[in-house]
Amino acid sequence: MSDPVFFVPAGRLALAEVARIAGGEVARGDATVAIGRVAPLDQAGPGDLSFLDNPHYVDAFRATRASAVICSAAHVGDAPEGAAVVVAAQPYRAMALVLQALFPDAFRLKGPFGAAGISPAATIHPEARLEADVTVEPGAVIGAGAEIGSGTVVSANAVIGRGVRIGRDGYVGAGVTLQYALVGNRVIIHPGARIGQDGFGFAMGPGGHLKVPQIGRVVIQDDVEIGANVAIDRGSNRDTVIGEGTKIDNGVQIGHNVEVGRHCVLVAQVGISGSTQLEDFVAIGGHTGLAGHIRIGMGAQISGGAMVKDSIPAGARYVGNPAKPIREWTREQMALKRAAQQATGRDQT
């Protein structure tokens, strides 16, 4: 259930307004009923709004005590008696839109200190340029020549290196280090992320490993979200690029010269080796490793825990270690299962 201490609703929404925001319609109940709280199905009570997106939870949906629910047309008949129903084609997306309206502070992030404006406890180089309405919290450091657009929040103890440029309406979380980087508009960088440090580049040999200077940048396009403790290395001799709208989960490592396309999704603990390219709309499950100098085609999906050593064509679905097309992997697993069953049968005779 939402916490009234940390996230207080901005107001109450009539069910008709909920339907408008959700892009749906009120299929049952009083459209003038006001909603100001949200809760999961099993915890919802009178006055709460909840939703059903995954049919796996239909039993909890039938039993919920929520005053109003959002669901698809196919599940209106499963809604409990007495609950008002908003029908939306995509209930999860609809609920996200309603949450944005009810809890803008959870959508438009603020720094942990909570005060707007430039803190006197921040250290800002006189050659840095900040537009109006930038917030810089205590302990933050902004280097020479850095540029930060209006509406952006730089949280406590973040470090913005010299020459870094950050667009408008962005968020830099507490303890972030950001250097040798160009960052677009509306980019969210969660606490502890490390962006723009040296790539892992060495000329290896029997006499020792010679460090190769890393002279590229990190370029982060508009509407990217970067999770906590993500590491993105700057390019060695070209840029590391994160494409527009891409979402990166906590604990991801992106090596030098990597190019991530637009609207990709990288789940926690993905590791991408240097000079690998991801085309647009690639989705990679958690704890997956990608070798360097390969290409992942547009819209490809890679299952969690896969180890990818070769390029993957557009639209393909890969799984396993080493990663292979899911149909091939499934056939192999079935063959292994049959072989094991046959061996077990022989052992018992």
Closest CA to 253 of 240, 237, 243, 262: 240
Contacts for 145 with CB less than 8 Å, ≥ 6 apart: 125, 127, 128, 129, 162, 163
| Tokens read off for 150 | 């209006």
Is the preceding peptide bond at 322 cis, omega within 30 degrees of 0?
yes
Does residue 42 contact residue 82 with C-beta atoms inside 8 Å?
Answer: no
Q: Is 209 a catalytic residue?
A: no
- Active-site residue, from 256, 263, 287, 293: 256
Does residue 218 contact residue 256 with C-beta atoms inside 8 Å?
Answer: no
Contacts for 190 with CB less than 8 Å, ≥ 6 apart: 173, 176, 225, 226, 227, 228, 230, 250
| Tokens read off for 233 | 């290395």
| Tokens read off for 119 | 């803190």
Pairwise CA distance, residues 251 & 261, whole Å: 19
| Tokens read off for 23 | 């892009």
Residues noted as catalytic: 256
